[in-house]
Amino acid sequence: MQELLNIFKALSDETRLRILKLLELGELCVCDITAALDIIQPKVSFHLSALKGAGLLRDRRQGRWTHYRLDDSDLFRRMLVLSVMERVPEEAVAADRKRLRAFMEGKEATGKVVGMPANKRCCGR
């Protein structure tokens, strides 16, 4: 029962739906999400941990970065998330997408990508 409840608790927060919406686009590291949502990093970690605890996300450690992506191993969660994503209004995530795009382009332009030397840092935060 608790497991089921955790799924819904995870889905009943706006920040977390925004994160899921971003991850629809593909795997992202914490600093990508932080930049896209324009909120402080511990807040992002907090919500990522809730989503992961509910079995909605998987993470992958690569060097100093942790990459998160949707966990599609469970059919129920997958269909649930899918149907929810469809219902998140576009205007609630448009700004996030825009900031993400800008941030990603910045990374590419300056060579600040995963695996790059630390002086060419990822976040600058």
Partner DNA sequence: CAATGATATCAATTTATGTTTATATATTAT
Partner DNA sequence: ATAATATATAAACATAAATTGATATCATTG
CA-CA distance, 65 to 60, in Å (whole number)? Answer: 8
Q: Shortest gap between Cβ of 41 and DNA (angstroms)?
A: 5
DSSP string over 67-108: EEEE--S-HHHHHHHHHHHTTS-GGGTHHHHHHHHHHHHHHH
**Taking CB under 8 A as the rule, does residue 25 contact a second copy?**
no
Among residues 1, 73, 109, 111, the one that binds a second copy under rule CB under 8 A: 1
Instruction: Select the binding partner of residue 83 from a second copy, DNA, none (C-beta < 5 to 8 A, by kind).
Output: a second copy
Q: Shortest gap between Cβ of 73 and DNA (angstroms)?
A: 19
